Amino acid sequence: MQPAAQEAAADLFNATEGERAGLRPAGQLLGDDTSGPSCAERVASGEIRPRVERVLVEKSARRLTLWFAGFAVREYRVALGREPVGDKRFARDGRTPEGVYTIDARNPGSEFYRSLHISYPSAADLKAAREAGRDPGGEIMLHGLPNGADWVARDHARFDWTEGCIAVTNEEIDEIWELVADGTPIEIRP
């Protein structure tokens, strides 16, 4: 990728919706001093919370990446299901599903701090489980740490401990919660 193109995409990601549309913030006139914080600084401070276009999870790399305008804009280390290799086949197999799903709901009062629901099982997942005479399972989430265990912080990703969900730190799920809208596609790769 060209550095200039990547920088332009980062600037676009870090801009408010009005700035992306070419509009000036309310009260700003042509020639006004623009020496205030940059868009990137405003994102870092939490003043601006743009929405990403898709989420990518690479299970083998234990990585979750947020994408905007064709560029990776955030990366996080993740913990997966206790049996991380292979696609989820049925309930309680300890595997994290693989495929393209959607973030379709959120729970601010989760037993894992906060959680975003992933639309597993898909029609294909459901069919495969039924053909095997099994329950496909469900309630696959992207979530924080168990309530009361935030002291674990980044060490949580040193081993796979979920029942098939994707886990990040509480600080990270706070950021993801703000950046990922319901309806955002999430692709989970092996």
What CA dihedral angle connects 127, 130, 134 and 135, to 10 degrees?
60
- Both 14 and 65 in one domain: the answer is no
Q: How many domains does the chain have?
A: 2
Please tell me the predicted confidence (pLDDT) of residue 150. 77
Q: What is the mean pLDDT of the chain?
A: 83
Amino acid type, 59 = K
Residues of the chain with pLDDT under 50: 1, 5, 17-33
- Give the CATH number for residue 161: 2.40.440.10
Please tell me the predicted confidence (pLDDT) of residue 96. 96
DSSP characters over 11-69: HHHTS-HHHHTTPPPTT--TT----S--HHHHHHHTS-----SEEEEEGGGTEEEEEET
Please tell me the predicted confidence (pLDDT) of residue 152. 85
- Both 12 and 68 in one domain: the answer is no
- Both 98 and 172 in one domain: the answer is yes
Task: Provide Rg for the chain, Cα atoms.
Answer: 19
- Both 102 and 37 in one domain: the answer is no
- Both 34 and 78 in one domain: the answer is no
Residues 6+ apart with CB under 8 A from 69: 9, 12, 13, 53
Distances (CA, A) of 156 to 99, 152, 166: 24, 6, 11
Q: Which residues pair with 143 in a beta bridge?
A: 115, 167
- Both 86 and 167 in one domain: the answer is yes
Please tell me the predicted confidence (pLDDT) of residue 35. 65
3-state secondary structure (DSSP) of residue 77: strand
Please tell me the predicted confidence (pLDDT) of residue 106. 96
- Both 16 and 36 in one domain: the answer is yes
- Both 12 and 90 in one domain: the answer is no
- Both 85 and 140 in one domain: the answer is yes
Amino acid type, 68 = F
Rounded to whole angstroms, how far apart are CA atoms 31 and 27? Answer: 12
- Both 68 and 136 in one domain: the answer is yes
- Both 24 and 93 in one domain: the answer is no
Of the candidates 90, 110, 116, the one whose C-alpha atom is nearest the C-alpha of residue 186 is 116
- Both 60 and 41 in one domain: the answer is no
Rounded to whole angstroms, how far apart are CA atoms 68 and 85? Answer: 28
Please tell me the predicted confidence (pLDDT) of residue 21. 42
Range of the domain at 8: 3-45
